[in-house]
Structure 1
Amino acid sequence: MHIRGDSDVAKEKYAAFIGESDARTNGNALSVLGRFETNKAHHVRIADNLIELCNGGSGIHAFKSHQVDIIHNTAYYNGASPELNWGQIFVQVTDDIRIVNNILVSRPNQPINSVGPDGGDQKSTRIVRAHNLYFGGLAPKLTGEGDLLADPQFVNPSTDPTVANFQLKPTSPARKSGRQERFGPFPDLKGKPRSVPPTRGAYEK
């Protein structure tokens, strides 16, 4: 299954878990919720999505899933519910996951690629991170080959969707600095072909 071209804005969930008083649960943008215990391959590809602007929980996360590729996504200022303390893109109790060529921008003092300030991959195995770009929030707890900590230089980053523009300036360190993958390249969010090497995030330019 291939999920691409999605854009989510300002989703929060006000429904308490049974037996808990906190009425703000997740409100994630994209979640892959599998059945890890069955050991069945799922092979879900999440690519070329713009996940931005105030979703209450994560931008993208996989939970109890197998074989998920999270590639060429831009996640900006999710984790709007401070009670959750969730990052932009992360995994929990998963196996065989590739997180490649994404741009993650977190809110001040919020985790960027984990759950909570001290979170890790939480009982996950065979996780590959490569050529992601991180900016803002707390320092990433988990990094991989070619990952960068830098300002992605969006044209006009904003929490106002009427003026926000998450395409990249010509000087962006994300441009033409991604990793070429055997399962790519895909066109970017606007349908433009990817360069070689590809640009990180949802937009090629």
Structure 2
Amino acid sequence: MTIQFLQHTYFFPMMIHGFGFLSLSASLVLPWALTGLVAGERMTESLAKDVRQSFTDQEIPLPSRKLISAIPTKTTYYVSSNGNDRNSGLSTSSAFRTLDRAANLTDPGDTVLIMNGVYNNTSQVGTVLDIKRSGKANAWITYKAYPGHRPKLQSNGWHGVSISNGASYIEVNGLEIIGNNSNITLGYAQNQQNNKSNPLTNGNCITIDGEKNRLTHHIRILNNKIHDCGGGGISVMESDYVTVDNNEVFNNAWYSVFACSGISLITSRNYDNSQNYKMVVTRNKVHNNQMLIPWIQNKKFQDGNGIIVDSHRRFGYKGHTLIANNISYKNGGSGIHTYESEHVDIVYNTAYLNNQTPVINYGQIMSNYSSDIKVVNNILYSAPNRPISLINQSPNSTFNYNLYNNNGSRQIAVGPNDIMADPQFINPSIGDFRLKRGSPAINRGFRWNNLKTDALGNPRVYGSASDRGAYEMRY
């Protein structure tokens, strides 16, 4: 069986990733000995005979969260929509008006507390929050919502939040970043489909940009609501040690000419030579990110993924990437996708009814021109007669211990311990992908030693074995 793929040549604008295919037969790499098995569990003899590569059960540590909690606060700045940039910014009653006023003053260890209100970019080519100053390993700079507040960063420029110029040891926490999609019609965007310079259609919500030899590293994007940007939701370029955790990312990538996605990690670069988990995407809800305008390079629709790990081979990236406990649904491309990347563990995710773009047939989770990709303990739910999973030209990669829905979709990547069944979600129509009591995904996975909790932060194993998918049910 031959699958026709699209050729995708890279173009690097200020925010975006590339991704694509050649016209080749699907290459399947099936079982191998999985890491992380519960003590005492053994592969069957027949499975062992099919092993292509054996390796030991190695613990790959996650980046420590204790760094931030142990940071002594140096200065706290306050920003309010009712503030004034002539104020001192040192109390709620003397708050600054703009985020950049505070950002331009920060030193290692400082915190910027953002109060209720709407914050806008001051010019159409500008950014609502432009971060260019760095913290230190023991003194991060933190931008977060004032306790109990829900500030909104509304952008019609190139970026809602930009982290660049080598800025590192930065945390962005608890903000709502909103793009310009509500002010754009599809007809207007189609008229702009050859315009690379229009921020109204191409702007990103969050851009982490380590290009031009100004490597950004040690960045945390936590607990944010990120939506309605014509470009990418969270676009991470040429960076290292980036954690994207517990965000909701939706309605992005619609109008850009640059082929964007909800969350993209593109061309990661080495801050050091560690082979631990350094790029971490966990516990995010990613939905309705889709290309409505073709990529300017080839006039094709081929991205709009929920989450993509893209071209990590370009700079010889050595770190491991963890994609875990995410819920990725109703995106235009894959729910989760790798392209020309290595050492990516995709575990305990739920991918549901992706491939919303009619010409895209990548499956809910796809490994494309990649290697050492482990797709384990996930739930993949596809529309009828649409592919569920796909491995293409990806040696030493596997799908195993996953659950596929049994709606007659064709499967291209199937492991020996994968099962086909109705996962019995509680209410997927409203985005509730928890499992009903009696779901065949419950107690049917195996313990992944490198991951201790589920999408809600609950202990990962409850019962005789772990559950498949993003949630560990307490039945």
TM-score when scaled to structure 2?
A: 0.39
Identify the residue that residue 95 of structure 1 maps to in structure 2. 371
Q: Of the candidates 164, 168, 182, which is equivalent to residue 435 of structure 2?
A: 168
Letter of the 1:155 counterpart: I
Query: Within the alignment, does 1:189 sit opposite 2:466 as a pair?
Result: no
Identify the residue that residue 294 of structure 2 maps to in structure 1. 16
Query: Within the alignment, does 1:122 sit opposite 2:389 as a pair?
Result: no
Deviation at 1:45, TM superposition (A): 0.2
Letter of the 1:61 counterpart: H
Alignment of 1:67-78 (within 5 A): 67-78=343-354
Query: Within the alignment, does 1:157 sit opposite 2:428 as a pair?
Result: yes
Identify the residue that residue 470 of structure 2 maps to in structure 1. 202
- Change in CA separation of 1:6 and 1:137 when aligned onto 2, cut-off 3 Å: farther
Deviation at 1:127, TM superposition (A): 0.6
Describe the SS at the equivalent of 1:32: strand
Deviation at 1:21, TM superposition (A): 4.0
Flag the structure with larger Rg. 2
In structure 2, how many angstroms separate the alpha carbons of the residues matched to 1:84 and 1:194? 33
Describe the SS at the equivalent of 1:126: coil
Identify the residue that residue 118 of structure 1 maps to in structure 2. none
Letter of the 1:187 counterpart: T
In structure 2, how many angstroms separate the alpha carbons of the residues matched to 1:18 and 1:35? 22
Letter of the 1:144 counterpart: G
In structure 2, how many angstroms separate the alpha carbons of the residues matched to 1:40 and 1:129? 23
- Change in CA separation of 1:189 and 1:123 when aligned onto 2, cut-off 3 Å: same
Structure 1: stretches of 5+ with no match in the other structure = 115-120
In structure 2, how many angstroms separate the alpha carbons of the residues matched to 1:194 and 1:174? 13
Deviations 1:12-50 (A, max 9, x none): 11232346444x332111000124365542310000001
Give % identity.
Answer: 38
Q: Verify the 8 A CA contact 2:349 2:377 in the aligned structure 1.
A: yes
In structure 1, how many angstroms separate the alpha carbons of the residues matched to 2:319 and 2:311? 8
Letter of the 1:150 counterpart: A
Deviation at 1:84, TM superposition (A): 1.3
Deviations 1:54-102 (A, max 9, x none): 2111100110001000000000011101111221001001111111100
Q: Verify the 8 A CA contact 1:111 1:137 in the aligned structure 2.
A: no
Identify the residue that residue 6 of structure 1 maps to in structure 2. 284
Q: Verify the 8 A CA contact 1:50 1:202 in the aligned structure 2.
A: yes
Letter of the 1:101 counterpart: N
In structure 2, how many angstroms separate the alpha carbons of the residues matched to 1:57 and 1:73? 16
In structure 2, how many angstroms separate the alpha carbons of the residues matched to 1:9 and 1:21? 24
Letter of the 1:177 counterpart: R
Identify the residue that residue 320 of structure 2 maps to in structure 1. 43
Please tell me the root mean square deviation across aligned C-alpha atoms, in Å.
1.7
Describe the SS at the equivalent of 2:396: strand
Q: Verify the 8 A CA contact 1:128 1:144 in the aligned structure 2.
A: yes
Query: Within the alignment, does 1:61 sit opposite 2:331 as a pair?
Result: no
Q: Verify the 8 A CA contact 1:47 1:71 in the aligned structure 2.
A: yes
Deviation at 1:176, TM superposition (A): 1.0
Stretches (4+) displaced over 4 A: none
Describe the SS at the equivalent of 1:91: strand
Describe the SS at the equivalent of 1:166: strand
Aligned pair count reads 192
Q: Verify the 8 A CA contact 1:39 1:66 in the aligned structure 2.
A: no
- Change in CA separation of 1:26 and 1:37 when aligned onto 2, cut-off 3 Å: closer
In structure 2, how many angstroms separate the alpha carbons of the residues matched to 1:197 and 1:111? 28
Identify the residue that residue 143 of structure 1 maps to in structure 2. 414
Identify the residue that residue 402 of structure 2 maps to in structure 1. 132
Describe the SS at the equivalent of 2:399: strand
In structure 2, how many angstroms separate the alpha carbons of the residues matched to 1:27 and 1:177? 31
- Change in CA separation of 1:79 and 1:44 when aligned onto 2, cut-off 3 Å: same
